[in-house]
């Protein structure tokens, strides 16, 4: 308490500074416990009015806002460019040549993103293909060898081993090395594009774990695909390349420094995600549309352009590399996920009601799938907490899958003539000499190949019973699998389940009307897949385009596809959200919806804003800055002027300054043992060098003789923060907030004085 | 001057009202001529400070802003919802049922838009097909009949007659009935979607003239297509249906009144344009992307959805109707513009440089085309002013086309064996018995069929000379045609020219390397078309998708297409803008670019704003309102409070009120012979009934005993206008303005007092 005298100094010029952090324990306790009466001397508190307003406050929203909810674990990205004096100086210094060079660099980076994303996709694909063929070839041989001596448990054991070992490995990697690499990656990318900073989501380490993880999971035979992780990989590649430095390798290449802000980075990530879609599905237009559906608010034409280029290059590169690898010269390999090209798919008018019915069916199945999956999620979150538990769980699900598959193969005797078998390694099992087991054909390959088989196998390739049981089993297996602590996507199992029941529909109909010629099983499999995807994923436009691009069907067939997808989505939306949104909600990520929540519609800004607000004066004592930084977790502080006395919240807003800027300023001026703040030495480069991991305040220990120093925010603050009136409707300001990708919005009264603050979490309705 | 006494009344409660319009002639003159010194009594002037500030003003930008430029001929649409008290009351009154009904109505309208757009497209298409076949069948017969007796001038005359009569008819319709129906319609729709109110652009009369006009032009054989007009038709259909009333027929169906504002209407028009693209090209995804490229700033997911549905339904309806008409049952007719389906188009690596070169070539040709066309435009604007001149010009161009075609047919003797002829009516002319004239085959059909022929004719269908001359002729003919006062699109001629020179390239290459097998002429025609379109139109993404959907090529071929299109656009952009943007610029439409003009980048709001601003007080005298409405053409007036004396511009902003609102209020309260303003009787319906053609102020004659009446704006004004600080950077506020689709932005100082106003025209850099 040795600074007490200073605190109570009443020199009006040199305003009393505030007690350092270690001394404020008591006043902090006061403000939260409300036991001690407030001292009338407001000077003791850094934010005047905080105390009294909290006491008065009968609106619980204010208190809840930022500290209680888990949502606040996530920070927002800042899409707004902080056009402060430093930025303007830098902007003016830029010659025409530099602008051109920056533009060129931007194009180059988008090109490279496309190429590298495709190369990673190729590597993953080739690895999966090679290992899968080894695995299933070995298993098929083992079955044949052990069939006659009755030791069928031997291939069963082999299968179990070749499944749970890679799955366990992948789960261990994800669990212990990089937990954020779990799952599909699409929800995380979606959050990032929405403007939420998901920690570690775009690090190289995440990419490596994700890539190895997805290979092991698919080889392990889990019901999942590699497409989601591919999209995530694209995003990581984009973030990595565009920044010219890597945190994982602690290496700064000192290039592309002008791209070191959230704004630029997010544009690149958009391109990366889109390149990921392009290389995963061979669908460049689908990739652009994927980015659109997820981040439409931040679009402009030149960005669309660059994204298109990066996805085109990506799918082209993949095409070239895979064609070369597989020794083909006619570029027929367009994506990792290839459902095979359909020839013309004619349909009749009277089939449209069938398609709609299938859409409804898909919507119901999808909604039920989503609900069940989120139940599993909650169960896991509650009961499976330790790392080894998660690994064991993944291995158990793998074991379950193998066991069910073996039982099916053993019990159902669905024999078909060899010659039109869909696998590379047909299993004879109990079938005749020229036959193969159709059940084994479904299980003895990657899910992707099975989906392709269901689309393109000739009619009569399976018994109705086989497909029916397969549908039920795979439906629940995929539901159990998604959410395991492994790196795995949801796209392929959804397609597979949909294709299977779609094919089943055509088989049953054919059975009932044997003369009907229109019941092409592949067509119905495709419609089933569309219905299931509409029901589970709910991403309509990009999915339509991806399906069209992947299957190469005529645009005449676009109508049935779109109708089915839309019906599926509609029906599904009646019950719950899409699976990606469910994952996001379960993780309490404060993602901004497209429209403000219904209950917010008729409210005013003052109803939802957080207040009171911690403000800083234009010229502020270093000590006070350190104090508020240590005391609060806020990321932005309004800068005010015309302050009467110490009552900062009565000042007029003249700017906003971010926590990150404050820490950099403090580090440069005080921590670095400099005597005074040499503002000339701080340029915009200083801030860019620290991006994106700014120094934290915990490091700072202020010397006793330095707490008088004053920082002038004039050149650092953003002089034109977005301000809204306290009576402005939430619908309107939400639109602004979303369209501009803001992080902070200052609510001001009619005289431009701070009334409150709006951040992302304030816009998300809390149901409790 | 009989109100003088009142003006100088100094009762502080009842503020002095202002002189009515007829009395202000002098003060108006004063303010513009600056000859008379300003009276110290500010009360005499409606806007205090106007005088003095104009005197002080040394920034010429202020004065120039809104009255001088032709840009101000166009008004802005208001995408912002005016959430005033009336709106809120209406919003709260809405039950869940009404919300549901409105949502349902919205979906229904999108469906109906799709269907009707397709039906109109079908009608136009069938009309063109029928008449064209009649015309060219008759001409072919006439050629054959008159060949032997040497009277070849007879078919020539017939051809001239069957060309210039419909062209003249169409030109007369456009010129005298609805001039806004001229041209492609895409630039106008683009402007509308950008937020500019182009007068009469979405009226039914415009649609009728456009439809008949495009039929006559195509039959007349002008070098143009029907796709642009189709898109325009979709927009008109959307605007018409969604409003439930028609100005052309002076009929109000009293339905869908809740959709009567710019915001809702523009969303529907977006759907209509997209349905137009879908039915014109059979490209539903392309339609969605077209809307995206033109109006991306106003997107949200549910809108994307509805647009997708409307375009899908549209292309499906077209498919069904045309299939039924042509007696096909397998739905192969997917769009009006059908380039015919390509089978797989393989390409080799070494062809990519050729494609890029062709892209460069297309960019150069396109840029030159655009420049030449805009020269023609300027020439026309200067010299061809009377209506009959425009009609004669169209007929002359038609005559020129026919004459050139005849000369070509007469001079070039390109005979091919019958059997693979591309027209329905092969012309023998001077060829042998089993032959037809290949030149006549190019000319004796609609441009669309010729384009299709160039894509799909087998190799060796033409001499190199034939195609070469055709390219040159059609290039200049199409350049001469676009801009005539007829209703005609630019899409098909561009495709045709591109396809022709693309095919020419392959023919020349084949001639040089007779052994090369990869030189598929259709492939090169497609690449040529893409290059030419990239060079002329510059709409990359939607064009790519439209081309892919129209030609049904594999997505493997997407890469060459995209590369070519992008190269074409890049090279073209180096020289000038796309043709649509050129048309827009020539017409001085204040369309907002994607980014603020380069010179604005480092400016502040105060540098570009218009000031002084005409403000109104919260409670304002009717007389004053009428006065400012008559005196100024501004469309929005800031509402201020805390006014000291009469100096309105010193008040704090508390809202904004639109000219349209003011006129409706005046009409309802004063004009309707009501004694007082019965605010209870005015609801939001009152305003909706007047939309979109609000009463004009010229009607009002204020009774002598009514100029004391006061209007309280409290419930009418938009209480949360978008305000920006005077020091805010233009780049940032531009982004807000564009993203939110605003019409007005109030610039305030640090105390929330009006400093200036920003509207669309202020954001458009004036080069003078």
DSSP string, B458-492: PTTSS-HHHHHHHHHHHHHHHHHHTTSSSB-BSHH
- Cβ-Cβ contacts under 8 Å, A194 against chain B: none
- Cβ-Cβ contacts under 8 Å, B739 against chain A: 297, 736, 739-740
pLDDT at A3 over 80: no
pLDDT at A494 over 90: yes
Select the residue of A293, A556, A736 nearest B740 (Cβ to Cβ): A736
pLDDT at A123 over 60: yes
Pick B701 or A511 by higher pLDDT.
A511
To test the contact with chain B by mutation, choose from A84, A285, A344, A591 the residue with the greatest count of B C-beta atoms within 10 A, namely: A285
Cross-chain Cβ contact A332/B720 below 8 Å: no
The reply to whether CATH 3.10.580.10 applies to domain B4-74+597-763 is yes
Report which of B227, B209, B241 is spatially closest to residue B114, judged by C-alpha positions. Answer: B241
How far is it, in rounded angstroms, from Cα B591 to Cα B583?
11
Sheet hosting strand B723-725, strand order edge to edge:
B723-725, B744-748, B754-759
What is the mean pLDDT of the segment spanning B472-482?
93
Contact A197/A188 with Cβ under 8 angstroms?
no
How far is it, in rounded angstroms, from Cα A352 to Cα A347?
8
How far is it, in rounded angstroms, from Cα A666 to Cα B735?
32
pLDDT of residue A63: 32
How far is it, in rounded angstroms, from Cα B313 to Cα B588?
36
Residue B251 structure tokens: 């009929």
Give residue limits of the domains in chain B.
4-74+597-763, 93-136+148-325, 351-586
List the single residue in A with minimal CA-CA distance to B562: A312
Contact A572/A537 with Cβ under 8 angstroms?
no
pLDDT at B62 over 60: no
- Give the pLDDT band (50/70/90) at residue A168: very high
pLDDT of residue B97: 80
- Give the pLDDT band (50/70/90) at residue A423: low
- Give the pLDDT band (50/70/90) at residue B14: very low
User: Under CATH, domain B351-586 is a member of which superfamily?
Assistant: Clc chloride channel (1.10.3080.10)
B346 touches chain A (CB under 8 A): yes
What is the mean pLDDT of the segment spanning A417-433?
71
pLDDT of residue B72: 55
How far is it, in rounded angstroms, from Cα B174 to Cα A664?
66
- Give the pLDDT band (50/70/90) at residue A529: very high
pLDDT at B43 over 50: no
Select the residue of B305, B594, B601 nearest A540 (Cβ to Cβ): B305
pLDDT of residue B592: 84
In the DSSP assignment, the letter for residue A751 is: T
pLDDT at A1 over 50: no
Cross-chain Cβ contact A334/B556 below 8 Å: yes
User: What kind and span of H or E run contains A188?
Assistant: helix A186-194
Q: How far is B335 from chain A (nearest CA, A)?
A: 10
How far is it, in rounded angstroms, from Cα A11 to Cα A263?
44
List the single residue in A with minimal CA-CA distance to B735: A740
Sign for the pseudo-dihedral over CA of A463, A464, A465, A471: positive
Cross-chain Cβ contact A288/B725 below 8 Å: no
Quickly count: other Cβ atoms within 10 Å of residue A521's Cβ.
Answer: 26
What is the mean pLDDT of the segment spanning A344-358?
85
Contact A190/A294 with Cβ under 8 angstroms?
yes
Cross-chain Cβ contact A555/B549 below 8 Å: yes
- Give the pLDDT band (50/70/90) at residue A661: confident
Sign for the pseudo-dihedral over CA of A136, A140, A142, A146: positive
- Cβ-Cβ contacts under 8 Å, A81 against chain B: 731-732
Fold identical between A4-76+604-763 and A103-128+183-325?
no
Mean pLDDT of the residues in chain B: 79
Cross-chain Cβ contact B559/A315 below 8 Å: yes
How far is it, in rounded angstroms, from Cα A399 to Cα A336?
27
The domain defined by B93-136+148-325 folds into: Clc chloride channel (1.10.3080)
Going from the C-alpha of A427 to that of each of A222, A453, A566, B393, the distances in angstroms are 20, 16, 39, 78
- Give the pLDDT band (50/70/90) at residue B61: very low
Chain A neighbours among B 137-176 (CB < 8 Å)? none
Pick A332 or B370 by higher pLDDT.
B370
Mean pLDDT of the residues in chain A: 79
Contact B69/B191 with Cβ under 8 angstroms?
no
Going from the C-alpha of A674 to that of each of A664, A665, A666, A706, the distances in angstroms are 14, 12, 10, 10
Select the residue of A300, A652, A725 nearest B750 (Cβ to Cβ): A652
How far is it, in rounded angstroms, from Cα A18 to Cα A31?
16
- Give the pLDDT band (50/70/90) at residue B71: very low
pLDDT at B233 over 80: yes
Ranges of beta strands (E only) in B403-473 are 415-417, 435-437
B93 touches chain A (CB under 8 A): no
Contact B315/B279 with Cβ under 8 angstroms?
yes
How far is it, in rounded angstroms, from Cα A636 to Cα A649?
14
pLDDT of residue A211: 93
Q: What does the CA dihedral B74, B79, B80, B82 come to, rounded to 10 degrees?
A: 80
Pick A87 or B540 by higher pLDDT.
A87
How far is it, in rounded angstroms, from Cα B529 to Cα B548?
12
pLDDT at A677 over 70: no
What is the mean pLDDT of the segment spanning B555-570?
85
What is the mean pLDDT of the segment spanning B557-580?
89
Quickly count: other Cβ atoms within 10 Å of residue A675's Cβ.
Answer: 10
Share of chain B above pLDDT 90, in %: 23
- Give the pLDDT band (50/70/90) at residue B37: very low
What is the mean pLDDT of the segment spanning B630-635?
83
Cross-chain Cβ contact A541/B308 below 8 Å: yes
- Cβ-Cβ contacts under 8 Å, A724 against chain B: 720
Tokens 């049935």 -> residue? A560
Cis peptide before A692 (omega within 30 of 0): yes
Residue A282 structure tokens: 């061979």
pLDDT at A150 over 70: yes
Cross-chain Cβ contact A540/B308 below 8 Å: yes
- Give the pLDDT band (50/70/90) at residue B329: low
pLDDT of residue B335: 60
pLDDT of residue B684: 75
- Cβ-Cβ contacts under 8 Å, A735 against chain B: 740
A570 touches chain B (CB under 8 A): no
What class has domain A103-128+183-325?
Answer: mainly alpha
Contact A119/A321 with Cβ under 8 angstroms?
yes
Report which of B489, B78, B114, B488 is spatially closest to residue B273, judged by C-alpha positions. Answer: B114
What ipTM is given for this predicted complex? 0.80
Report which of A525, A467, A604, A486 is spatially closest to residue A342, judged by C-alpha positions. Answer: A525
pLDDT at B528 over 90: yes
User: Under CATH, domain A4-76+604-763 is a member of which superfamily?
Assistant: CBS-domain (3.10.580.10)
Strand, coil or helix: A326: coil
Tokens 């999966």 -> residue? A128
Q: How far is B193 from chain A (nearest CA, A)?
A: 15
Cross-chain Cβ contact A334/B555 below 8 Å: yes
Provide the angle, in degrees to the nearest 10, between the axes of the packed helices A204-219 and A153-172.
170
pLDDT of residue B100: 84
Tokens 């939420």 -> residue? A196
What is the mean pLDDT of the segment spanning B347-374?
92
Cross-chain Cβ contact A284/B558 below 8 Å: yes
Quickly count: other Cβ atoms within 10 Å of residue B59's Cβ.
Answer: 11
- Cβ-Cβ contacts under 8 Å, B563 against chain A: 312
Instruction: Give tens-digit pLDDT for A32-56.
Output: 333 333 333 333 333 222 233 333 3
A341 touches chain B (CB under 8 A): yes
pLDDT at A111 over 70: yes
Share of chain A above pLDDT 70, in %: 82
Residue B178: phi, psi to the nearest 5? -155, 85
A315 touches chain B (CB under 8 A): yes
Instruction: Give tens-digit pLDDT for A374-401.
Output: 999 889 888 888 888 999 999 999 999 9
pLDDT of residue A513: 87
pLDDT of residue B473: 93
Report which of B528, B465, B480 is spatially closest to residue B501, judged by C-alpha positions. Answer: B528
What is the mean pLDDT of the segment spanning B70-90?
73
To test the contact with chain B by mutation, choose from A550, A604, A720 the residue with the greatest count of B C-beta atoms within 10 A, namely: A720
- Among A51-65, A576-590, A715-729, which is the least confidently predicted range? A51-65
B288 touches chain A (CB under 8 A): yes
Contact B163/B397 with Cβ under 8 angstroms?
no
């Amino acid at each position: 308490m040795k600074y007490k005298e200073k605190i109570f100094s009443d020199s009006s010029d040199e305003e009393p500074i505030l007690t350092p952090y270690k001394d404020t324990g008591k006043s902090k306790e006061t403000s939260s416990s409300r036991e001690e009466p407030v001292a009338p001397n407001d000077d003791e508190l850094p934010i005047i009015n905080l105390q009294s307003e909290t006491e008065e406050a009968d609106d619980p929203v204010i208190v809840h806002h930022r500290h209680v909810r888990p949502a606040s674990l996530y920070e927002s990205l800042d899409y707004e460019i902080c056009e402060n004096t430093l930025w303007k100086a830098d902007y003016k210094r830029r010659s025409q040549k530099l602008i051109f060079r920056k533009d060129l660099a931007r194009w180059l980076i988008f090109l490279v993103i496309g190429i590298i994303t495709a190369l990673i996709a190729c590597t993953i694909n080739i690895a999966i293909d090679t290992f899968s063929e080894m695995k299933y070839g070995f298993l098929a041989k083992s079955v044949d060898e052990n069939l006659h001596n009755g030791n069928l448990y031997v291939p069963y054991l082999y299968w179990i081993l070749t499944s749970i070992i890679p799955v366990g490995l992948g789960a261990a990697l994800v669990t212990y090395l990089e937990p954020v690499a779990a799952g599909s990656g699409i929800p995380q990318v979606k959050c990032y594009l929405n403007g939420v900073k998901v920690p570690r989501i775009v690090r190289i380490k995440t990419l490596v774990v994700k890539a190895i993880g997805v290979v092991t999971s698919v080889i392990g035979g889990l019901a999942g695909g590699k497409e989601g992780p591919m999209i995530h990989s694209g995003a990581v590649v984009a973030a990595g390349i565009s920044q010219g430095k890597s945190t994982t390798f602690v290496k700064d290449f000192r290039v592309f420094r002008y791209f070191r802000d959230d704004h630029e980075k997010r544009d690149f990530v958009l391109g990366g995600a889109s390149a990921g879609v392009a290389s995963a599905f061979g669908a460049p237009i689908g990739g652009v549309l994927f980015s659109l559906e997820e981040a439409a608010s931040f679009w402009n034409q030149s960005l669309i352009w660059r994204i298109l280029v990066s996805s085109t290059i990506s799918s082209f590169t993949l095409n070239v590399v895979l064609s070369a690898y597989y020794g083909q010269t006619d570029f027929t390999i367009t994506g990792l996920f290839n459902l095979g090209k359909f020839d013309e798919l004619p349909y009749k008018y009277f089939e449209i009601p069938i398609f709609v019915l299938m859409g409804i069916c898909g919507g119901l199945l999808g909604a039920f799938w989503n609900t069940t999956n989120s139940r599993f999620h909650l169960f896991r979150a509650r009961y499976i907490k330790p790392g080894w538990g998660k690994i064991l769980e993944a291995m158990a699900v793998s074991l379950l899958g193998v066991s069910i598959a073996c039982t099916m193969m053993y019990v159902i005797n669905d024999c078909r003539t060899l010659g039109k078998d869909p696998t590379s390694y047909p299993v004879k099992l109990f079938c005749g000499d020229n036959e193969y087991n159709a059940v084994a054909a479904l299980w003895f390959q990657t899910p992707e190949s099975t989906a392709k088989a269901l689309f393109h196998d000739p009619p009569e390739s399976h018994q109705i019973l086989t497909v029916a049981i397969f549908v039920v089993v795979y439906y629940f297996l995929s539901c159990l699998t998604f959410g395991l602590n492994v790196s795995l996507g949801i796209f392929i199992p959804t397609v597979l389940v949909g294709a299977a029941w779609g094919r089943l529909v055509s088989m049953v109909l054919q059975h009932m009307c044997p003369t009907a010629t229109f019941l092409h099983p592949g067509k119905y499999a495709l419609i089933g897949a569309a219905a299931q995807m509409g029901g589970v994923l709910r991403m309509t436009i990009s999915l339509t385009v991806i399906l069209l691009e992947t299957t190469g069907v005529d645009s005449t067939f676009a109508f049935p596809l779109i109708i089915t997808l839309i019906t599926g989505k509609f029906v599904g939306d009646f019950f719950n959200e899409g699976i990606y949104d469910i994952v996001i909600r379960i993780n309490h990520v404060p993602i901004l919806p497209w429209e403000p929540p219904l209950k917010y519609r008729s409210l005013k800004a003052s109803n939802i804003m957080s207040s009171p607000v911690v403000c800083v004066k234009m010229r502020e004592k270093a000590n006070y800055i350190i104090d508020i930084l240590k005391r609060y977790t806020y990321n932005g502080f309004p800068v005010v002027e015309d302050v009467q006395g110490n009552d900062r919240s009565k000042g007029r807003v003249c700017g906003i300054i971010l926590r990150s800027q404050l820490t950099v300023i403090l580090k440069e001026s005080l921590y670095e043992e400099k005597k005074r703040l040499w503002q000339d030495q701080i340029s915009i480069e200083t801030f860019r060098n620290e991006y994106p991991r700014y120094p934290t305040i915990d490091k700072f220990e202020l010397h006793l003789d330095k707490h008088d120093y004053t920082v002038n925010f004039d050149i650092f603050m953003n002089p034109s923060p977005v301000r809204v009136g306290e009576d402005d409707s939430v619908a309107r300001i939400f639109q602004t907030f979303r369209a501009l990708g803001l992080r902070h919005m200052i609510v001001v009264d009619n005289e431009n004085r701070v009334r409150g603050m709006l951040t992302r979490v304030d816009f998300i309705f809390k149901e409790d």
